[in-house]
Copies of this chain bind each other. A is one copy, B any other.
Amino acid sequence: MSNAATETANGVQSVDRALRILEILARSGESGVTEIAASLEVHKSTAFRLVATLEQHGLVEQVEGRGKYRLGVGLLRLAGATSARLDVVQEARPLCKQLAAATGETVNLATLSGHSALYLDQVAGPSALQPHNWVGQHIPLHATSNGKVLMAWLEEAELKDLLGRLPSYTGLTITSKAALRKQLEVVREQGYAVAVDELEVGLTAIATPVRNAHGDVICSMSVSGPTFRLPPDRVDEVLPLLIEAADELSHRLGWGMR
């Protein structure tokens, strides 16, 4: 009967709508009820009730009494519980902390998710405030050291699927497929990837693979910081520390035990 427009295979309608509201808010940052209702193609009141229910659970909150809605802190609690059960993150946390302390820079853990890199965890260096929290964000693969590492050990078929458009973010972003493939070759050979000013001018990052018991690359660990603090010779200093930490993590996940 209901040959709905988009993918509405099955599922509970109102729940589906509620979850779409969360996604809308994630994308827009802030939205009003009317705006949400328009996006969902439902009546204002329907959208309002859904939002109200989400609000009761702390997943959304309204900004300043009367006004728009945005995602709430309840999500942080849920996400905390999520990453707590991801054994990789759990296992990695002390290592990341130690690495962050040793290098003074920010350490990230990223994995492949869809067509981009999903940042699983972040430990900031001793600098006062967290630079920019990337946890949960999807970051383009071709412009980051993490992304290069995650792609480098993929099967040809999977890789091909990921290499779509390669948008440019700075003058140094790799935008040609051939050049990227060549890069990945280098990454595979040397066992790590570097990205200098490729995603953002002034941002340098180094990444290495983390393997599970089967030897699959399941995520990548990176150290990143402002380019002026991470010139080539400093990168050479940090690299062994990063590799040591990532190898230790792989080891704890069963890699190399046989």
A positions within 8 Å CB-CB of B: 3-4, 9-12, 14-16, 18-20, 22-23, 25-27, 29-30, 49-50, 52-54, 56-59, 70-86, 91, 93, 97-98, 101, 111-114, 118-120, 126-129, 133-138, 155, 157-158, 161, 213-214, 251-258
Contacts and interface: CB of A to CB of B under 8 A. Distances in A.
A20 B15 CA distance: 12
Nearest to A81: B26
Contacts of A29: 81, 85
Given A3-B56, A70-B85, A73-B120, 13 more contacts: A4-B57, A27-B81, A73-B86, A76-B120, A76-B213, A76-B253, A78-B79, A78-B136, A80-B134, A83-B136, A83-B214, A84-B137, A101-B157
A81 B76 contact: no
7 contacts: A23-B78, A75-B79, A75-B82, A76-B120, A77-B256, A79-B213, A113-B128
Contacts of A157: 98, 101
